[in-house]
Amino acid sequence: MQKKKTKWVLYSVVITIFTFLTGCEPLLVLDPKGPQAERQASDILMSIGLMSFIVIVVFSLLIYMLVKYRASKQSADYEPPHIEGNIWVEVIMVGIPVIIVAFLSYVSVQSNYIVEAKPKGYEDTKPLVVYASSSDWKWHFSYPEEGIETVNYLYIPTDRALEFRLYTYGPITSFWIPQLGGQKYAMSDMVTTLHLAADDPGEFMGRNANFSGKGFAENTFNVTAMSQEDFDDWVKEVKETAKPITEKKFEELLEPGHLGQQTYTGTHLEFSPPPTGHNHSEESSESHETENQPDSHTGHEGMSH
Amino acid sequence: MDFFDRFAVPHPSVAIYASMAAIGLTVIAVIAGITYFKKWGYLWREWLTTVDHKRIGIMYLLSALLMLFRGGVDAIMMRAQLAVPENTLLDAQHYNEIFTTHGIVMILFMAMPFIMFFMNFVVPLQIGARDVAFPRLNALSFWLFFMGAMLFNISFVVGGSPDAGWTSYFPLAGNEFSTSVGTNYYMIAIQIAGIGTLMTGINFITTILKMRAPGMTLMKMPMFTWSALIANVIIVFAFPVLAVLLAMGTLDRQFGTQFFTMDNGGMDMLWANLFWVWGHPEVYILILPAFGIYSEIISTFARRNLYGYKSMVGSMVIISLLSFLVWAHHFFTMGQGALTNSIFSITTMAIAVPTGVKIFNWLLTLRKGKIVFTTPMLYSMLFIPLFTLGGVTGVMLAMSAADYQYHNTMFLVAHFHNVIIPGVVYAMLAGLHYYWPKMFGFMLNEKIGKWTAWLLSIGFVLAFMPMYASGLDGQARRMYTYSEAAGFGLLNMISFVGAAIMAIGFVLIVYNIYYSTRYESRDISNDPWDARTLEWSTHTPVPEYNFAILPEVRSNEALWDAKKNGHVLFKGEYEKIHMPNNSGIPFIMSCIFFVWGFSFIFSLWIPVIVTTLGIFGCMALRSFEQDHGRYISVKEIEETETNLRGA
């Protein structure tokens, strides 16, 4: 118990320092709003705590040596001894780091399987599948089951697993919503899967984190999390008001440049399906129908380059 | 005019035109100066054709310092651009070019030659040899590196700089998205410099294995020599990967192959994988010799033998093996799955163990010592805490699930600068101060030196610590601007202030060189630091044959033995010394390589063919040339030795 307490004291010190540095707003990554980001934030804080211990040990040893063994503190005729290594010192020197690394490896491996699976707490929900594809310098979000598509903004329901299928019509990009979870690459020759979930309604920053050329800095999108009912209402509204996305329209959207937020009915998956390259990390999921499109190897034909 | 259009910079600005004018005027001034002072002959005889490892080393040093300032100007421009939100000092294109060239220049054309300088200057002296195993090859290595670096630098004013990041990931760097010749410069210039580095690797492995002084077994080699040996082994394994990778990139860009393209089965992540198969060992090529330098300096100024010699060697061997097993940690977010990530996560963290052993050995070397705070020692003592910070954030990054949040952010940028600046750059500056008297016969001013070390460290902390926070706050790396609402403004402003303080530090180094050249005493001994290894046992300045009589060694601190335990280093009589002749071929061949590279970059195939023939011609010439070197007579040796002793 005592141990846990000191740990949390350490954490709060670290957080306070960071908070102070950033002008009193909590850092996005350390202010998680979903289970994946929470796991990552707790790993980060735990490792900061553990690493601070190592840093303190090294700093103290260094200061001790420098203060104690300065030449000015010793007599002029002091001759430092010749000391070879000592097996027991070396065992400690290797042993303690090995224990620390082993512990961190254990946590790391565990976390790997957690972030690559359906988010904790939402295992029983049917995931909302969103195809997130990037083009220079936009994001296209296709909701195949809802039959709608948006550009540069993302509406998601809370309390439900989200499964993002990522790919790109341009250079490698990286899909990242810091408060919901870490990023993953979107590539042109395969689809990668990112599992996220949002606990509470709210607005989040999303962006491409991987450098992709001139328009990279502005390659962002807005994320709004809302209750399932609000989400359903939004889908219904889109279906009633938005125009359908056509092949020609989609080709226009792919042209390099920046766009505002846009909304369409239908998805581009029908005429420009995602690449079919293999993807090791894909976990089982209920809705594969969109992947079984005929002539699915034409993923890049919509491109104008 | 179409022919000349290709040489124009695609995205010019006032700064670029000003640089063109400045470069032009400097070249004219240098040529005029050399002609006026009638130094062409001297330059040719003493430097351009030299095969002396000490002079080649000094040329590496000058190139590295030159490139340090080129890369440093890039850095300060980036920090200035990001100092305030929505700044318009640079536009996106210029910012992209600047961070790309900053990375390449600092790693390949600044840090690498700096390491090469130490290996060239120190290793033969430290093992009691008269030169490297292949002196002419060594000259060729240098000139290929130099021409590669110059070729890369002219991209700024001819044809445009590369702008796809120093990692140059495809397909961004492919023809689809990088249409200017900038990335061709990347492929060809690094290729030419890389061939030189590979040759250095072979040269120094041979030198260290075959040319050690009598009695110096492997486990009696000084620690810097050990680190150089291991770094060169890594070079020989890693650099062929880079050569093949760059060749594939060139083929994709200029000959229509499809290794990394988006269509026709090209694999974009293949580039990333191969790049880091070379790129990760590359950082150990830089850091291991740096560790070697610290080992020498800490032991010298703690006035004690290095603690745990065997574990120091062992840890470097383990690091070199692990360095080839961690490359995928550069893209945990590629989607290769939890199992693969777990494996690379563990191998990466494992590197912390041998690195930790080294840190503790240095700390224990201080124990029971008699610590003298000279400038090199000050840098080393600042290195230990700052590098530890960088090291532990490396362990944090190695946790792959958490890395999904650090990847591609300023957190990562903070981490690798946090290991490279205190790790490599401080080692170079410490080593520069340490070996300066051996090279030039006078010390660098200690007071200015210490000021510099403190300024650099304060600047460093201010410049890079805020990046850890801004990264966790969602600031991606390589963003040329950010909005006010993002809230990164204050942190980036602190970074800029830190960078400016570091800039003052680097200017002080130049001032120190100027000041010391003018005012420091020339009356110094051969061993001004009271050091422990062989390089301090010969005269200052070092005669061209290094040692009139080859030393005999019985421990890893041969000179210390001689000073304290009455060991006799130099036994016997003078004998005539066999030395290699100077040769113009390495320089001429590298000049041809320069023209070859330039023509290749612009797809000018006729000059490419002509220069290719020229390169083979030089090699053929060498093959048929009869050159058995020359002898320095006993009389000459006696004269030189008497002069040096008298001085």
B367 touches chain A (CB under 8 A): yes
A271 in a domain, yes or no? yes
Cβ <8 Å between A171 and B171:
yes
Residue A292 pLDDT: 41
Residue B165 dihedral angles phi and psi, to the nearest 5°: 90, 155
A22 touches chain B (CB under 8 A): yes
Mean of pLDDT values over B517-526: 92
Residues of B in contact with A29 (CB under 8 A): 405, 472-474
> In A, residues 153-172, which contact B (CB 8 Å cutoff)?
166, 170-172
A180 in a domain, yes or no? yes
Q: Which of A81-85, B152-156, B512-516, B620-624 has the highest mean pLDDT?
A: B512-516
Residues of A in contact with B342 (CB under 8 A): 105, 108-109, 112
Residue A10 pLDDT: 60
Residues of B in contact with A193 (CB under 8 A): 335
Residue A19 pLDDT: 59
Strand partners of residue A206: A221
pLDDT in tens, A32-44: 999 999 999 999 9
The rounded percent of chain B whose pLDDT value lies above 70 is 100
A69 touches chain B (CB under 8 A): yes
Nearest to B336 among A166, A209, A280 (CB): A280
Lowest mean pLDDT, pick from A1-5, B206-210, B332-336, B397-401: A1-5
Q: Match 């005029």 to its residue by tokens.
A: B32
Quote the tokens at residue A233. 């209402």
CA distances (Å), A99 to each of A3, A87, B3, B140, B572, in order?
Answer: 18, 18, 64, 48, 54
Distance CA A169, CA A189 (A): 9
Residues B481 and A216: beta-carbon distance below 8 Å: no
B338 touches chain A (CB under 8 A): yes
B507 touches chain A (CB under 8 A): no
* Residue partners of A298: CB distance under 8 A and separation at least 6: A272, A273
CA distances (Å), B63 to each of B105, B292, B562, in order?
Answer: 11, 22, 36
Long-range contacts of B376-379 (CB under 8 A, 24+ apart): B376/B297, B376/B301, B376/B430, B376/B431, B376/B433, B376/B434, B376/B529, B377/B297, B377/B298, B377/B301, B377/B430, B378/B449, B378/B450, B378/B453, B378/B454, B379/B297, B379/B426, B379/B427, B379/B429, B379/B430, B379/B433, B379/B453
Helix (H), strand (E) counts: chain A: 5, 12
Cβ <8 Å between B392 and A51:
yes
Distance CA B163, CA B547 (A): 49
Cβ <8 Å between A171 and B469:
no
Residue A6 pLDDT: 60
Q: What is the CA radius of gyration of chain A?
A: 26
pLDDT over 50 at A283, yes or no: no
pLDDT over 60 at B90, yes or no: yes
> In A, residues 239-268, which contact B (CB 8 Å cutoff)?
none
A27 touches chain B (CB under 8 A): yes
A190 in a domain, yes or no? yes
Residue B225 dihedral angles phi and psi, to the nearest 5°: -65, -40
pLDDT in tens, B135-191: 999 999 999 999 999 999 999 889 889 999 999 999 999 998 998 999 999 999 999
Nearest to A189 among B268, B369, B487 (CB): B268
Distance CA B204, CA B226 (A): 11
Distance CA B344, CA B131 (A): 41
Higher pLDDT, B16 or A255: A255
Q: Match 């990264």 to its residue by tokens.
A: B471
Mean of pLDDT values over A110-116: 95
CATH code (residue A233):
2.60.40.420
Task: Give B530's Cβ-side CA count (13 Å radius).
Answer: 10
Q: If you average pLDDT over every residue of chain A, what do you get?
A: 87
Cβ <8 Å between B409 and A65:
no
Query: Domain tally for chain A?
Result: 1
pLDDT over 60 at B466, yes or no: yes
pTM score > 0.95 for this model?
Answer: no
B268 touches chain A (CB under 8 A): yes
Give helix B375-398 / helix A87-115 axis angle, nearest 10°.
Answer: 40
A153 in a domain, yes or no? yes
Residue B579 pLDDT: 94
Distance CA B594, CA B147 (A): 6
Q: DSSP H helical segments within B302-374, as ranges? A: 309-322, 338-350, 352-366
Residue B2 pLDDT: 73
A102 in a domain, yes or no? no
Distance CA B138, CA B52 (A): 9
pLDDT over 80 at A294, yes or no: no
A61 in a domain, yes or no? no
pLDDT over 50 at A297, yes or no: no
Residue B24 pLDDT: 85
pLDDT in tens, B304-354: 999 999 999 999 999 999 999 999 999 999 999 999 999 999 999 999 999
A71 in a domain, yes or no? no
B518 CB burial (10 A radius; 0-12, 13-18, 19+): exposed
pLDDT in tens, B102-121: 999 999 999 999 999 999 99
Mean of pLDDT values over A6-26: 62
Lowest mean pLDDT, pick from B55-64, B156-165, B273-282: B156-165
Selection from B198, B207, B58, B201 nearest residue B131 by Cα: B207
Q: If you average pLDDT over every residue of chain B, what do you get?
A: 94
Strand, coil or helix: A301 = coil
What domain range includes position A218?
Answer: 128-294
Give the mutation candidate from B220, B262, B530 for the A interface (greatest A CB count, under 10 A).
Answer: B262
pLDDT over 70 at B482, yes or no: yes
ipTM of the complex: 0.92
Strand partners of residue A141: A132, A150
Residue A16 pLDDT: 64
Mean of pLDDT values over B248-277: 93
Model confidence at A296, pLDDT cuts 50, 70, 90, reads very low
Cβ <8 Å between A172 and B353:
no
Distance CA B231, CA B227 (A): 6
Residue A238 dihedral angles phi and psi, to the nearest 5°: -60, -45
A73 in a domain, yes or no? no
The per-residue b/e assignment along A141-167, b for 16 or more CB within 10 angstroms, e otherwise, is bbbbebbbbbbbbbbbbbebbbbbbbb
pLDDT in tens, A206-223: 999 999 999 999 999 999
B396 touches chain A (CB under 8 A): yes
pLDDT over 60 at A300, yes or no: no
The rounded percent of chain B whose pLDDT value lies above 90 is 88
Residue A166 dihedral angles phi and psi, to the nearest 5°: -110, 135
The neighbour count for residue A235, using CB atoms within 10 Å, is 18
Strand, coil or helix: B83 = coil
Model confidence at A303, pLDDT cuts 50, 70, 90, reads very low
